[in-house]
A and B are shown apart, each in its own frame.
Chain A
């Protein structure tokens, strides 16, 4: 039973560039949520995708966008990267909204220089 798979594991980008992160949810899960975790802090909610639509969004600018595909996999896109976007980006999958707990992927470590 595959867990949540994220790619790439590490990424270095330059300010102003764009980045795409990918996530394959756990088998049987249909909902994908994205979180940003800065060093030494708890994860912060970015948005959630269900049935290929963004169902809820946290306090993140429009530079952050996403997509969910028919196979439930998801992408997170960040445009016009800032130094402050450097963080661990976590994908979490669940069956439904997640009220029974999330399964997190190993994350993508993004460094913006």
Chain B
């Protein structure tokens, strides 16, 4: 399956600061999905991007898919303690019928 690298691995921010995680691939991606996993929890689907240059927003979360479809980012504005967790990007391969996850970015929000 298509491989994705995710950075940073860890991020500590003060509550109210912004946060961004990046997902990069050496090959063109057909799509990118983003999941959030709270500590001790399970991945929860956030969004899927499929179009070049696509930007989608969910309240304080902004998701972008690069023009070349080789990278994606998730930006959180004014973080809150409820944003704590690990954010994963993942690529879905229809032919392989599987999601390939990045290594995740673990976000800690300090009150």
Contacts and interface: CB of A to CB of B under 8 A. Distances in A.
Interface of A: 33, 35, 41-45, 48, 55-56, 58, 90, 92, 97-107
Nearest to A90: B42
Interface string B73-111: 000000000000000101010101111111110000000
Given A102-B45, A104-B44, A106-B41, A97 B97 contact: yes
Interface string B15-50: 000000000000000010101000001111100100
Contacts of A105: 42
Report the 10 A-B pairs with minimum CB-CB distance, sorted nearest first. A42-B101, A56-B97, A101-B45, A45-B98, A104-B42, A48-B97, A104-B43, A97-B97, A106-B42, A107-B42
A31 to B, nearest CB: 8
Interface of B: 1, 31, 33, 35, 41-45, 48, 88, 90, 92, 94, 96-104
Contacts, number: 57
B103 A56 contact: no
Contacts of A90: 42-43
A43 B96 contact: no
A102 B99 contact: yes
Main secondary structure of the interface of A (DSSP, over half): loop
B48 A42 contact: no
B42 A45 contact: no
17 contacts: A33-B98, A35-B99, A41-B103, A43-B43, A44-B101, A45-B98, A45-B99, A48-B97, A55-B97, A56-B96, A90-B43, A98-B99, A100-B48, A101-B48, A102-B45, A104-B44, A105-B42
Contacts of B96: 56
Contacts of A56: 96-98
A43 to B, nearest CB: 5
Contacts of A42: 88, 90, 101-104
